[in-house]
Amino acid sequence: MYDAYNTIVQLVERLHRHFLDVLRAELRRMGVNDINAVQALLLSNIGDDDVVIRDLKDRGYYHGSNVSYNIKKLTEFGYIEQERAEHDRRAVQLKLTDKGMELCLAIRALQQRLAENLNVNGGAEEAEMKQAETVLQKLERTWTDFIRYGAR
């Protein structure tokens, strides 16, 4: 079990780096050079929603200083708008601008193409993908429980 666990941990780390490389290549292909892959991923995670910065941190996607810096840059370059939340004036609501939504939709289209290629060229079946998803969710839950409650 340990060997398989260790292999998955290493694979997850490599996959994340490779995915950022994929986003970098797509940004370059599209002629987008004012933001980086992490910032593009941030746009994708915001998507159609109005999101509070704290929610992005709470979901575990980003760390405090990184998300603040990236939000600042995305705002400067016109990809997102910020406004104070009505219910809590200390919270900042984020919403994609038209420019941000256009890039978000391009990333979604890329994801769709990659998923289709995985099925056609990689031979991955939907059942296999669901099984991998289940295992990775269990791994996430294990790590989250460790962070919250410590070793058991």
Cβ(44)–Cβ(79) below 8 Å: no
Cβ(70)–Cβ(34) below 8 Å: no
When pLDDT is cut at 50, 70 and 90, the band that residue 65 belongs to is low
pTM above 0.85, yes or no: no
The structure tokens listed for 137 are: 């969710």
The structure tokens listed for 84 are: 């104070």
| pLDDT given at position 64 | 58
Angle between the N-to-C axes of helices 37-46 and 64-76, in degrees from 0 to 180, rounded to the nearest 10: 90
Q: Any idea how long the chain is?
A: 152
**Per-residue pLDDT reduced to its tens digit, 7-51:** 999 999 999 999 999 999 999 999 999 999 999 999 998 888 888
Q: How far apart are CA 38 and CA 140, in angstroms?
A: 20
**Per-residue pLDDT reduced to its tens digit, 78-122:** 999 998 867 777 778 899 999 999 999 999 999 999 998 888 877
Q: Which domains does the chain carry? A: 2-121 (1.10.10.10)
Three-state SS sequence of the chain: CHHHHHHHHHHHHHHHHHHHHHHHHHHHHHCCCCCCHHHHHHHHHHCCCCEEHHHHHHCCCCCHHHHHHHHHHHHHCCCEEEEECCCCCCCEEEEECHHHHHHHHHHHHHHHHHHHHHHHCCCCCHHHHHHHHHHHHHHHHHHHHHHHHCCC
